[in-house]
Chains A and B, each alone.
Chain A
Amino acid sequence: AAESSESDEEDLVSYGTALQPLQEGERIKKPVPLQEQTVKDAKGRYQRFHGAFTGGFSAGYFNTVGTKEGWTPSAFVSSRQKRADRTILGPEDFMDEEDLSEFGIAPKDITTTDDFASKAKDRIKEKAKQIAGVVAAIPGTTAFDDLIGPSKITVGVELLRKMGWKEGQGIGPRLKRKPHRQKPDPGVKVYGCALPPGLSEGSEDEEDEYQPENVTFAPKDIMPVDLTPKENVHGLGYKGLDPSQALFGVSGREHLNLFPGGSEDTSNLLGDVRHSKGRKLGITGQAFGVGALEEEDDDIYATEMLSKYDTVIKDEEPGDGLYGWTAPKQYKSKKRSEREVKYIGKILDGFSLASKSSTPSKIYPPPDLPRNYRPVHYFRPVIAAGNENCPLRKALEESTGKLESDATQQSRHALNASQRRERLGETGLKGPAPSVLEYLSEKDRERLKEVKQASEQQMKAKMLPQQSRSSRFQPASPDDASHKWQMLLGGQLGNAGSSDFKPFARNPEKQKRYESFVKSLKQGEKDTLEHYLDPSMTEWERGREQEEFFRAAMFYKSSNSTLSSRFTRAKYEDDVDKVEVPRDQENDIDDKETAVKMKMFGKLTRDKFEWHPEKLLCKRFNVPDPYPDSSIVGLPKVKRDKYSVFNFLTVPEPTTSVTQVTNEKMQQNNSLNKPKKPSRWDVSDKEKEKKDAISEFISLARSKADVQQQQSPVPATEECGAGLSETLPTEVANEDKDQEEESRPSMDLFKAIFVSSSDEKSSSSEEESDEEQQPTTSVINSETTKEVDLPDTSSSNVQENVADTTDPGVSLLTASKQELDAAEEFGPKLPPAFSSGRLCRLLVRKEKHRKNREKHKTKREHKHKKEKKKKHKKQKNKGKHKNKKSEKDSSSDTADSSDSLSDIDTTGLSPKELLRR
């Protein structure tokens, strides 16, 4: 057994490594289960078999170099010492070993280069190699490349090769014909279960002589090119649903795909290989499925619609029976060819007939020539005005159709604008008013007319006696007038009286007469003028009207042609035309005058207006604003026509009416007053105004002298006396001066006089005034002044006066003269009174005397009145109406007194009348 065991031992063959003999008491290790085993990489790291770059995001995140954040940034290295060591880092520098390993992103293991890779990839290289192989010293060496080269060919290609496909060939069954002759005959319709391809193609083969029967060709490897330009904005290859397909009975393209017809042949021209390829197999289409080797499965969205099929067998056309889709192509395309027939000629290569004819351009007919148009211009012979060659003119007239009526208007330069306008047939200037009259308002025009007529009548009235004197039986002969006016107007009337001017628009008949009148006047018919006047009128009226017409015509002439061409009517309402005038005017004072005279103050003399004080003024017066809402200040105003003359004419001058108090006074004052608004502030001003600039100058100098006098410390009375004493020596000079004033000498002379010493000036001026006073005072003296309190004034008092000045308070007897002197010195710088002023005052005084006389008589009555007043004053708070009553009583009292009655009668108004008002 031992021997056997030994031999056994020697014979034993052991495999593998024996397990370690178990130690005493040692447990047997449990093997780790597979799911619990963890993989380690070469470096002993768990579960990492790729680098950061290789593994994608998670790898980049979890397996990154070093830290969770990523690669450790390189520490800063000073470039001072290591300037040259700067290296350009590539991605490899950041890669792990795993990235660079066999399965990494950038393996550094040995790989097959392109040279050894599959040749199927690069066709050009292959070709180059083939050429090189041919050219090479040992031909055919390149053939070994295929053997040496690693087989990197895809399975599909390998399968194709095994099926006999070679690179460069098209895929598909081999063809018997030449590739370029492959296109199917469009004439042959394939329908339904078509003929077997062998049959159809066999027929074709017969035509091909030089092609061996047993030789087939591989289909050409051509990528079909789609040459239809993309014109829409759809995506590439998108084909929308054709609405024509959806319609019943309309054959769409799909239909024709099944049965390739005439419309297809254009695409056939391009050599649609795919088409031919597919069709080669025979019947194609969705209904039959797609062959494994066909590329027809592209049209997966094509829909089958019933409308694509014919549901009705149509009647066949009589004749050859070649109608419908089975008809030969030529027959079918007959209609189309009709259109194409239009173009006869050779179509250039690359060009084709347009399918659509371009829209014909619009043709405009040439303008119609006038009937009497003559293409050649000829000049008409000009005939001088007033020529006597009538036959020639007549001939011309016939030739031109009309002749210029007026020979004088032949030359166009002689025409004025309006005449030219008429000739041109233009309408007259509508915009501008033909006359100033139009600018006036209707009312004003009327008034103007009235005024005019009144003045005319006045003139007539003046003329009438003269005419009657000259020609007894013909008062205002119209002939005379017309001739006179015609002389005046002359030829100017030619353009007068065009239709826009209607001076007698208010009287249409008259206007009509006027128009015909003007027309006749224009034509120069002097004798027939009267025919246009109203025959029913009297001779005098007719004459008057004629003159009126003449005037109007002349007025129009002067205003129209000159004004209308220069002015244009304002387009917008112009505020400048209006002027603001107070709404309420203080009404006329004639009544007030009489009321004042009758001492009937109150309602008659009072005007009440609405008046708006300024707000600030109210505030300062500590008074509430009476019109808190109004924006007006002062009297409310209204707008009126600014250019209305009557706006300013109607304002009555108070001065003139005031002077109506007494008749004599009125007359005097009227003669003194200027028509312009005189200031009655000082009466002497009126005189001053009469002597305009020079007298102003004088007065200015005088007032200057007065100032100087006032400045002088000498007492006034003394000066007065001195002035009087000086009267005699300077009298002559004064007279001279007066003469100068009247003859209005040059200003230099005045300067020479007045620029001299002030003494002389003052004295002279005083003298003048004194001199002027002399007559006044004398007049005053001559009058019997019966005023009780007023002392008699006399020139003889002058000396006394000088003496009296020592006691000014007591001196009652002051001469008027003296007083005037004083006034000149101490008055509020009023210009010295002239003789006229004195006169006025004198008159006033006269009037006063008379009044005083009356006063004596009415004194009793006055007292009575005063008592009433007193009573009335007490009753004032009780009622105002009673007040009036008392006034009435007093007035009736005055009426009782016969003396005052006569006074009142001068006004022409009885007191009762006044009272009634």
Chain B
Amino acid sequence: GSIDSTIRCWDCRSRRPDPIQVLDEAKDGVSSVKVSDHEILSGSVDGRVRRYDLRAGQLCSDYVGSPITSVCFSKDGQCALVASLDSTLRLLDKETGELLGEYTGHRSTTYRLDCVLSEQDTHVGSASEDGNVYFWDLVEGSLALSLAVGPGVVQSLSFHPTLPCLLTATQGQVQLWREETFQPE
């Protein structure tokens, strides 16, 4: 994903410098790209989530409105979590584009902040510009946890794919968060 409003696919095997396909449907910079086994999910600043389904040969474009900062698939591959600059996270049904959940409370108006889904798809997390990391219950939509990470904007956020383990980045520091019961060996 590029700020020139394209998504470029390179073939790593052939080592060709030029991309094999350029997806230039976005009208503005592409802020986030996620790839599943047969899909390319992209969020663009033009306020659209585009899902390129290679298997079906389809492009699904969902209008969210606000510039999208981050997208990610749910672990079950049925939903897409979309973070946008209107300080809202939305859980969209991948197939129909319907809204399954909306999560607010954090602040994301300026920066490209990450959003995550927990390893069990139980919670939805997002970084915030207020230095916290917020976690919501996916189903309830209620705020479950706000984790004060630092004074500045939490730039990046990443959840372990299988373990309850969170990685945050803020102000030149990368922090690893584990559950309270965790005992390091």
Contact = CB atoms under 8 A, between A and B. Distances in A.
Interface of A: 582, 586, 589, 592-593, 595-596, 599-603, 605-614, 616-618, 620-624, 626-627, 633-635, 654, 658, 661, 677, 679-683, 715-717, 787-791, 801, 804-805, 808-812, 814, 816, 818-819, 821-823, 825-828, 830, 833, 837, 841, 844-845, 848, 855, 862-863, 866, 869-870, 872-873, 876, 880, 883-884, 887
Contacts of B87: 844, 848
B21 A617 contact: yes
B110 A608 contact: no
Given A612-B57, A880-B95, A841 B110 contact: yes
B54 A610 contact: no
The 3 closest A-B pairs by CB, nearest first: A822-B152, A626-B57, A601-B99
A870 B150 CA distance: 34
19 contacts: A593-B65, A596-B65, A600-B99, A606-B96, A613-B57, A614-B20, A621-B54, A626-B56, A626-B57, A680-B28, A680-B67, A681-B3, A811-B151, A812-B148, A826-B170, A827-B155, A828-B111, A828-B112, A873-B139
A819 B152 contact: yes
Nearest to A830: B111
B interface majority secondary structure: loop
B28 A872 contact: no
A808 B170 contact: yes
Nearest to B143: A789
A635 B47 CA distance: 19
Interface string B1-45: 001000001010100000011111101110100000110000001
B128 to A, nearest CB: 9
A814 B24 CA distance: 39
A609 B48 CA distance: 14
Given A611-B52, A635-B25, A841-B109, A819 B98 contact: no
A586 B148 contact: no
A862 B172 contact: no
A452 B45 CA distance: 36
B100 A608 contact: no
Nearest to A609: B59
A601 B148 contact: no
A658 B65 contact: yes
Nearest to B151: A814
Contacts of B141: 862-863, 866
Given A602-B97, A605-B64, A789-B105, A716 B172 contact: yes
Contacts of B38: 621, 623
Contacts of A811: 131, 148, 150-151
A129 B136 CA distance: 155
A844 B9 contact: no
B47 A658 contact: yes
A470 B178 CA distance: 83
A654 B27 contact: yes
A638 to B, nearest CB: 15
B54 A617 contact: yes
B55 A624 contact: yes
A682 B24 contact: no
A819 B151 contact: yes
B119 interface: no
Contacts of A626: 54-58
Contact of A810 (B24, B61, B148): B148
A622 B56 contact: no
B71 interface: no
Interface in B56-88: 56-67, 78, 85-87
Nearest to A872: B100
B35 to A, nearest CB: 8
Contact of B54 (A623, A790, A837): A623
B153 interface: yes
A661 B61 CA distance: 20
Contact of B21 (A634, A654, A821): A634
A610 B59 CA distance: 6
B123 interface: no
A680 B22 CA distance: 22
B175 interface: yes
A825 B111 CA distance: 13
Point out which of B27, B57, B93 has the most chain A C-beta atoms below 10 A from its C-beta. Answer: B57
A620 B172 CA distance: 36
A592 B56 contact: no
A790 B128 CA distance: 10
B67 A808 contact: no
Contacts of B175: 809
A863 B101 CA distance: 10
B92 interface: yes
A841 B153 CA distance: 15
A526 B97 CA distance: 68
B92 A601 contact: yes
Nearest to A819: B152
A801 B152 CA distance: 11
A617 B11 CA distance: 8
Nearest to A791: B130
A870 B130 contact: no
Contacts of A658: 47, 65-66
B50 to A, nearest CB: 9
Contacts of B109: 841, 844-845
A819 B95 CA distance: 38
Contacts of B48: 586, 654
A589 B64 CA distance: 10
Contact of B46 (A611, A654, A819): A654
Interface string B158-176: 0000000000001111010
Contact of A602 (B3, B25, B55, B96): B96
Given A609-B58, A622-B37, A789-B143, A826 B11 contact: no
A622 B37 CA distance: 8
A814 B58 contact: no
Nearest to A828: B112
Given A626-B57, A679-B29, A617 B20 contact: yes
A605 B28 contact: no
A873 B139 CA distance: 9
B149 interface: yes
B146 interface: yes
B92 A866 contact: no
A546 to B, nearest CB: 46
A823 B97 contact: no
Contacts of B153: 819, 822-823, 826-827
Nearest to B107: A790
A146 B153 CA distance: 155
Contacts of B57: 610-613, 626-627
Contact of A605 (B23, B56, B63, B151): B63
A596 B64 contact: yes
B47 to A, nearest CB: 6
A626 B102 CA distance: 33
A603 B151 contact: no
